[in-house]
Structure 1
């Protein structure tokens, strides 16, 4: 039944979506700031089908044990579970996207962090944005990552209530916490934001967090205690409405390709330099050669196990 539904949805998807179509409010993120290593070898070398159309058509998770295959921006996820749409300290947003699926370790992390957030003044918990598709893989619109069920976007908007209707979750927007093109935080940034980001970064399950430069500098300047977690805060544009949490490869996933460890040191000097570059952009490099346009990710580009993830009933 799942395959029949997927085939029908795939036909509609291919007819409706052209190459490179993006969501206007999903946020374009390519969180490989230090760069992913070479992709795992694949077993689907002759399969040239567009992966995002196939994975984007799946409405349910695979009937497999939880495991991830490949890299954060080039892989898939078996046995994802759905974050319940509304919990005691969270709500999943943009339900129409069907991206509130993740590995069990991610769902546990989000629930844990939301309980902490609910202890902060003015926060009833967390609004959770995109996690992953039911079977991970490339998305029809928006993100380049979020393919393994171990990335999640957490809104900067403090939830004042956790009984939003489905329609409200589609139309409500988060708040921006930056000013001057991300060089500084604005008045919407509060000590509670810092406390929640700090708590997330101090969690041993977390590999790194993506956030805009001004927020990291603000946290560097304000931190008076343990600074070791600051190294996990990595700079990425467009992360002013939400921050992006990335977990380590889960236990029991030997075919997950980890991202390089975060560099040594707290990274505060680099963040301050990034702010300086925003305020006074350096002259363009005359030798810079732009990378070639990104082509469509094909099934042949993904680990071989992703075919079984896609076809599992």
Structure 2
């Protein structure tokens, strides 16, 4: 293939020779037109065709950081967020502030956010805005507001100046949703939930998984939807509630100061179907 022809192909596709793979995906600002959404690949190495845009405001929720254009996801994710917002409104828990879902066609992002690639992940802030009084945030507020940490780093506990029972109720409602596979939270938050566990709470508490950071938001990951044969899920979460020695490890010196990783390995190629999604 001649150099001139190669350049013509790149220009026609809206890319430049200097574009990285994540930049190519970020430039696809509209979803593909498909009647049935399809999540393809893994949560950290995939894409989505037929993504749906989450309305920027709805009952019980508002989307933040609109300039990032990451409010697209699988139809099941959009439904989940809207249903969780309805629960928050019905129980007067506060307005959910929604962070990243995914890009219009999924894929890797220029910011290096490894997951959120198949339209099945969403970040939800721990800032529950009860003070909104049903008003819409301005565009400037959506860009400049920050989510405070709800964890006291000095004591390995939640910060009770920020943490309320409403947070626990929102997490429970999210974890009980049948489409949810797991939810990532800071280990101190998992520990707080474990102090209130009951025999009944084990059903949903097992889905709450400790992970580094996640002190100002929680990360919801849905299961692969039915009828999405190219979606690759994760191994099932353990049947136990997770309030055992596995949780204690997160407060060890090893967990708090992990060894520095070596030279990062490049990500594997995206599934072949994603090339079609990118270039439609």
Distance 2:117 2:183 in 1: 16
Query: 1:88: Cα distance to partner?
Result: 2.6
Gaps in structure 1 of 5+ consecutive residues: 15-49
Q: What secondary structure sits across from 1:84 in the alignment? A: coil
Distance 2:149 2:270 in 1: 35
1:154 aligned onto 2:124 = yes
Q: Is the 8 A contact 1:118 1:126 kept in 2?
A: no
Structure 2 CA distance for partners of 1:269 and 1:57, relative to 1, 3 Å: same
Query: 1:5: Cα distance to partner?
Result: 8.8
Match of residue 59 from structure 1: 29
Q: Is the 8 A contact 1:75 1:306 kept in 2?
A: yes
Distance 2:227 2:255 in 1: 45
The correspondence of residues 178-193 of structure 1 with structure 2, limited to 5 A, is 178-180=151-153, 183-187=156-160, 188-193=162-167
Structure 2 CA distance for partners of 1:284 and 1:132, relative to 1, 3 Å: closer
Pick aligned residue for 1:87 from 44, 58, 66:
58
Structure 2 CA distance for partners of 1:5 and 1:61, relative to 1, 3 Å: farther
Match of residue 46 from structure 1: none
Distance 1:115 1:66 in 2: 23
Match of residue 69 from structure 2: 98
Gaps in structure 2 of 5+ consecutive residues: 1-9
Match of residue 307 from structure 1: 275
Distance 1:186 1:232 in 2: 22
Structure 2 CA distance for partners of 1:289 and 1:172, relative to 1, 3 Å: closer
Match of residue 144 from structure 1: 114
Distance 1:180 1:87 in 2: 34
Cα RMSD, aligned residues only: 2.5
Q: Kindly provide the CA deviation profile for residues 171-229 of structure 1, in whole angstroms up to 9, marking residues without a partner as x.
A: 00112100126821002111110010011111110000000011111111113343221
Q: Is the 8 A contact 2:72 2:101 kept in 1?
A: yes
Structure 2 CA distance for partners of 1:283 and 1:199, relative to 1, 3 Å: closer
1:226 aligned onto 2:201 = yes
Q: Kindly provide the CA deviation profile for residues 124-182 of structure 1, in whole angstroms up to 9, marking residues without a partner as x.
A: x3111000000000011041000000000001001232411111100001121001268
TM-score normalised by the chain length of structure 1:
0.78
Greater relative contact order, per chain length (Cα 8 Å cut-off, separation 6+): 1
Q: Is the 8 A contact 1:128 1:155 kept in 2?
A: yes
Distance 2:233 2:188 in 1: 27
TM-score normalised by the chain length of structure 2:
0.87
